[in-house]
Amino acid sequence: MKKKVWIGIAVALILALLGTFIWYVYFTGYDYSMADDSSMTIGDYTVSAGADGSGTLEMKEYQNKAKGISGVQLNAEANGSSFFMWVIDGDYEIIAGNINNEVIRVKPNSDLRILAMYNDGVNAGPANVKIVFSTLNEGFVQTLKLFAVTLLGAIPLGLIISFGTMSRFKPISILMRVIVWIVRGSPLMLQLLIIFYMPGMLFGNNIWGGNEIGRFWASAVAFIINYACYFSEIFRGGIQGVPIGQHEAGQVLGLSKSQIFFKVTLMQMIKRIVPPMSNEIITLVKDTSLARIIALQEVIWAGQAFMKSSHGIHGIIWPLFTTGIYYLAFSGLLTLLFGWIEKKLDYFKV
């Protein structure tokens, strides 16, 4: 009974939060809408104001003989300041300008309906939601790319490092242990900064280049090195955790070293490392946000940009908070995946 009450309270809280969020995103701010939203013809249109003030929409024929194009030009204005965004629908083709401008030109005889127009610097409801989410999606693609590249690089490198730390040749094992200590013992954020800026400082030449691709590869290198060191310790535990008897049983059965590794010990290692690896990999999902420090345009960066200005939207903070949903959804998926793998490996015990 008590349990049910608590679940009820939790569900109510989540619904209330979600409701507040939707209300905030959709129904706050100015909302100008056209009096007439039918197909456009040349003439003056009056914009009726949603919250305060009114605006005008002017429509002129437009021709540019030099470029050989002609069409319809729409100029919009409200409260003395220009419109910043249009929400338009219909079968139209924009020749010049875009929905973020106060002036757009469209082909003649367009079936263009103006559903709403929003003022500069205003939380603009549904239209913004679309822009924000498509921007966040783009950012999250970058997050996923960094995640995938890090995994692809850090797993093999981690194996190499773990063999290094287990090497019987002392200088190598000591060197590897020192590297692992440095990388695990210092903040990843610092490592990102050092890897991105150091080459430029030392050689006067930023090998990464200042663009997004350069930032991505600098981030990828920092993440691969950092995660390889964490993985190497997990792998070492997995390798050393397989009892020596398994190896000897393979030996007395006449198996070669590689047969023993691939056919006998590997599966047992995998079973041992899946739980700690799933932990690290879920941490990696969230750690990718640290790449923001060198301005990699991942999802947090994309969300944060709306606080200043991004895609014609200014001064809103909810996109930043919304990024959390992406991380939750993705780490939830990974949790399910690793749960499934662990279950698949449940048929034997080590």
Partner 1 sequence: MVILEVKDIHKRFGRTEVLKGIDFTLEKGEVLSIIGSSGSGKTTLLRCLNSLEFANKGQIIVGGETIFDADINKRPSEAELRQKRLHFGLVFQNFNLFPQYSVLENVTLAPKLLKKASNEEIEQTAMELIESVGLKEKINNYPCELSGGQQQRVAIARALALKPEILCFDEPTSALDPELTGEVLKVIKSLADKHMTMIVVTHEMSFAHDVSDKVIFMDQGVIAEQGPPTILEHPATERLQNFLTSF
Residues that bind partner 1 (CB under 8 A): 243, 245-246, 248-249, 251-257, 259, 263-264, 267-268, 271, 347-350
Minimum Å gap between C-beta 268 and partner 1 is 6
Nearest residue (CB) to partner 1, 151 versus 345: 345
> How far apart, in whole angstroms, are the C-alpha atoms of residue 23 and residue 25?
6
Residue 141 corresponds to which amino acid? V
Three-class SS state of 187: coil
Nearest residue (CB) to partner 1, 211 versus 258: 258
Instruction: Using alpha carbons, select from 322, 329, 324, 332 the residue that is nearest to residue 133.
Output: 322
Minimum Å gap between C-beta 273 and partner 1 is 14
Nearest residue (CB) to partner 1, 60 versus 257: 257
Sign, CA torsion 309/311/317/322: negative
Nearest residue (CB) to partner 1, 243 versus 324: 243
- Render the burial of 54-85: b for 16+ CB within 10 Å, e for the rest: ebebebeebeeeeeeeebbbbebbbeeebbbb
> How far apart, in whole angstroms, are the C-alpha atoms of residue 180 and residue 85?
52
For the chain, helix, strand, coil in percent to 5 are: 60, 15, 20
Minimum Å gap between C-beta 250 and partner 1 is 8
Minimum Å gap between C-beta 338 and partner 1 is 19
Nearest residue (CB) to partner 1, 193 versus 255: 255
CB atoms within 10 A of CB 36: 15
> How far apart, in whole angstroms, are the C-alpha atoms of residue 224 and residue 157?
8
> How far apart, in whole angstroms, are the C-alpha atoms of residue 247 and residue 264?
8
Nearest residue (CB) to partner 1, 44 versus 346: 346
Nearest residue (CB) to partner 1, 111 versus 248: 248
Sign, CA torsion 22/25/27/33: negative
Minimum Å gap between C-beta 239 and partner 1 is 16
Sign, CA torsion 301/305/306/307: positive
Nearest residue (CB) to partner 1, 171 versus 254: 254
Minimum Å gap between C-beta 262 and partner 1 is 10
Minimum Å gap between C-beta 168 and partner 1 is 16
Strands 69-78 and 103-106: antiparallel
> How far apart, in whole angstroms, are the C-alpha atoms of residue 106 and residue 104?
7
Nearest residue (CB) to partner 1, 6 versus 347: 347
Minimum Å gap between C-beta 245 and partner 1 is 4
Minimum Å gap between C-beta 259 and partner 1 is 5
Half-sphere exposure of 314 (CA within 13 A, CB side): 9
